[in-house]
Amino acid sequence: MIVLRNVSKVFNASSGPVTAVEDVSFQVEQGQIYGIIGYSGAGKSTLIRLLNGLEKPTSGSVTIAGQCITDATGEQLRRARLKISMVFQHFNLLWSRTVSENIAFPLQIAGASKAVIKQRVQELIGLVGLTGKEDTYPAQLSGGQKQRVGIARALANNPDVLLCDEATSALDPQTTDSILDLLLSINRQLQLTIVLITHEMHVVRKICHRVAVMEAGRIVEEGEVLSVFTHPQQPITRQFVKQTTEYSSANTPFNPQLVDAQGGCVLKLTFIGVSTQQPIVGELTLKYALPFNILHGKMTQTTHGTFGELWLQVAASDSQLERILADLHRYDITTEVVTHV
């Protein structure tokens, strides 16, 4: 559906050339929700403008639904853009138009008949959960409702691809979840390909199938969300994962003074899929006749399955610890020795 090959974008500034995107390659399959995550200045905004044809790459190619938009110009580019819609962070609604009129706007530009527009607007209002708000103006809507209007408007011309540029960044956590649930529902109902630009790992975890991590214009890590969450390879990826695991050396999920007083070692176990249902702690306790103190636990759901994290404290000798780690490896559980006294 979407293929980027060795895409770079260099801007000519007064101080000299500035590389915003450098040698980026990835592929998004039809019906996938693909997340692109990075901090400010990583190149995400430039990348999304390359995807919708608002910017031309300095080198490389961008192909969407078999159409190379890198080479498209004039009418050919306009037709290609009709199949690529955008949802924005700050809604970009027409404040003098009602909900229905905002959703109808792209249909009017495309030259659709009044009958077609009326029917399509009603379909979309129902799809995004705004029934009863047809004649309401944007100023009378909550942030989440405004974004629902933006999503409905983006879907008006039946696009092949929906680009979401920080679509939940201006919303509170509860509203963010409701919008993400809506996007996931739309993806499943319409088999719509969605590309999400974000700096929030929670967004990626909740609905994305694959994720690319950007830093300084490059993609430094890419893969299925569950794999990236459980085995992050790059330091920046580990920083993002900590947003949802709530663990860092400066903010432990348990009382470090209690751990220091009891001694031993602290193990961080990461479970994937069926291993989350196995009685691992009980079996280890029986086998080694050691008390395993559960310090903290967390289960996380992604679109590709569940993974769990568990912090255990155990006063084991070096030889026992070696055997415990080997047993956990046989259970296909990733284990990290957080502290070892």
Residues in Cβ contact with 163 at an 8 Å cutoff, skipping those fewer than 6 apart: 48, 51, 52, 84, 85, 86, 87, 194, 195, 197
What does the pLDDT average to over 235-242? 89
**pLDDT tens column, 161-187:** 999 999 998 899 999 999 999 999 999
Give the pLDDT confidence score for residue 330 in this predicted structure: 85
Other CB atoms closer than 10 Å to residue 18's CB: what's the count? Answer: 11
In CATH terms, 2-244 corresponds, of 1.10.510.10, 3.40.50.2000, 3.40.50.300, 1.10.10.60, to: 3.40.50.300
**pLDDT tens column, 192-232:** 999 999 999 889 989 999 999 999 999 999 999 988 888 88
Give the pLDDT confidence score for residue 273 in this predicted structure: 64
**pLDDT tens column, 264-316:** 888 988 877 655 567 888 888 999 999 888 888 877 777 767 777 888 999 99
Give the pLDDT confidence score for residue 311 in this predicted structure: 86
DSSP letter for 275, please. G
Look at strands 193-198 and 33-37 and give their pairing: parallel
First vs last C-alpha separation in the chain:
52
Residues in Cβ contact with 47 at an 8 Å cutoff, skipping those fewer than 6 apart: 7, 21, 24, 36, 197, 214
Give the pLDDT confidence score for residue 77 in this predicted structure: 82
CA distance 149 to 209: 25
Where do the domains of the chain lie?
2-244, 256-340
Q: Angle at Cα 121 formed by Cα 93 and Cα 166, nearest 5°?
A: 40
Domain 256-340 in this protein, CATH class: alpha beta
For residue 28, the cross-strand partners are: 2
Q: Decide if pLDDT at 247 tops 80.
A: no
Question: How far out from the chain centre does Cα 292 lie?
Answer: 35
**pLDDT tens column, 12-47:** 988 899 999 999 999 999 999 999 999 999 999 999
More confident call, 255 vs 179 = 179
